[in-house]
Amino acid sequence: MDADVVVVGAGLAGLRCADRLAEAGRHVVHVESEGVVGGRQRTDEVDGYLLDRGFQVLNPAYPAVRRFVDVADLALRSFGAGLLVRRETGLATLAHPLRRPGGIAATLRSGLLSPSGLAALGRWAAPALTAPRSVVRGPDRPLREGLDAAGVSGPLRTEVVEPFLAGVVAEDRGETSEAYVRLLVRMFALGVPGLPARGIQALPEWIADRSRRRALPPDLRLANPVIGVQAGAEPVVVCADGTSLTARAVVVAVGPETVGHLLPDVPAPTTRGLRTWWFAADEAPTDSDLVVVDGRRRGPMVNAAVVSNAVPSYAPPGRHLLEVTTLLGPDDDPSEDDVRRQAGEVFGTSTAGWHTIRRDDVWDALPAQPAPLRVTSPARVAEGVYVAGDHRDTASIQGALVSGQRVAGAVLEALRAS
């Protein structure tokens, strides 16, 4: 037998799972098909720019992040607490009144807020802020139905809430679970998302580095693709190089697009896609560090940002890095011309001087989260075989870390019982 546990996949769920198993003194062999850890949390350096695989953010308010990660080590830099919203009348600012009190006057002038609109949004969000467990355990419905029932309407909904959430849940039809979105809104209320100074990949690398310092660290084997998993009392992991690994348990912690290939009896999760363009510019179209949405909704863009305004290390000195993200799917295939036109209108500037660095098509950016919300799936799927990932919990960094922790606990319990 090669190990107590073989963990397949070194994304966030796999890394957290392997770390907990190693912490418990188990012999872990950890295999990953890529040459680096991270899964979807990947960063490339291109001509001095840091490009994540699609626009991603890290919310330090996630309970699992606070529990398992020392955010200070990541040198996290936050985006602004609020939004910029393109309206017919210009670019309006919505600032968090407590975290950005200097923006209150601009927020009041935006024309996006009304007493009735704020009251309706407050009624809708209140359960997640005051009793999140009741949101998870209570009835659920699609987001659009929940907003309708709460009376959320007018420009606050059509120009702010809906366009902003489209970029968060990767769909704009309001089909996502209302309970799931409420929990996300709770996290936005409690924390301001940002990015590590060296890119989003710094998060999985930090977890892997901590695991290496264990008394019995996982045996991490990179560039080692797996082509099959055989269940049984001593499950077998079949590698692409013709070798195999046997263990007392196997955890498959790969992305939703891959899990069905390794485990045909596990249904492939439905996913949603996002497309991100990365542009370099000599001059930033705004000095704001806020994420921007188009309240007019006149194009494919769901959000944009001058990333280097929030995290200067993402661009070389004197240069600026911008991202523009759109939905990606069978009915969503936006062109760069469409994106440049809309971005120019939103920022109120010409994009002729923007240099396209790269386009990221992330077809499986997020597992879909329809109503009713399923917050966990069974850890064990066959004899000796377990599955972890945010597609088994909730579609987020929080869900990935929680899933890795939960599945490791299930494996440890089974090993002790045997």
> Which of 105-109, 184-188, 303-307, 408-412 has the weakest average pLDDT?
105-109
| Distance (Å, whole) CA 252 – CA 274 | 25
Class of domain 44-62+76-112+192-196+271-367: alpha beta
- The pLDDT of residue 70 is 96
User: Under 8 Å CB-to-CB from 96, ≥6 apart: which residues?
Assistant: 81, 82, 103, 192
User: Under 8 Å CB-to-CB from 331, ≥6 apart: which residues?
Assistant: none
| Distance (Å, whole) CA 337 – CA 252 | 41
Q: Which is nearest to 28 in space by CA: 214, 287, 272?
A: 214
SS3 328: strand
**Could you read off the pLDDT of 276-295 as tens digits, one per residue?**
999 999 999 999 999 999 99
Q: For residues 78-87, give the mean pLDDT.
A: 96
pLDDT surpasses 90 at 99 = no
Class of domain 3-42+201-270+371-417: alpha beta
Task: Read off the pLDDT band of 104 (50, 70, 90).
Answer: confident
- The pLDDT of residue 111 is 86
Q: How far is CA 149 from CA 29, 128, 134, 161, 314, in A?
A: 50, 16, 18, 15, 42
Q: What pTM value is reported for the model?
A: 0.96
Query: Which letter does DSSP use for residue 142 in this model?
Result: B
**Could you read off the pLDDT of 245-268 as tens digits, one per residue?**
999 999 999 999 999 999 999 998
Q: For residues 378-392, give the mean pLDDT.
A: 97
Query: Which letter does DSSP use for residue 77 in this model?
Result: E
Taking the domains of the chain in order of start, what are their residue ranges? 3-42+201-270+371-417, 44-62+76-112+192-196+271-367
Task: Read off the pLDDT band of 54 (50, 70, 90).
Answer: very high
Burial code of 297-335, b = ≥16 C-beta within 10 A, e = fewer? Answer: bebbbbbbbbbbbbbebbbeeebbbbbbbbbbeeebebe
Percent of the chain with pLDDT over 70: 100
- The pLDDT of residue 110 is 85
C-beta atoms surrounding 111 within 10 Å: 14
- The pLDDT of residue 133 is 92
pLDDT surpasses 80 at 102 = no
Facing residues of 328 across strands? 273
**Could you read off the pLDDT of 175-221 as tens digits, one per residue?**
999 999 999 999 999 999 999 999 999 999 999 999 999 999 999 99
Contact (Cβ atoms closer than 8 angstroms) between residue 347 and residue 305: no
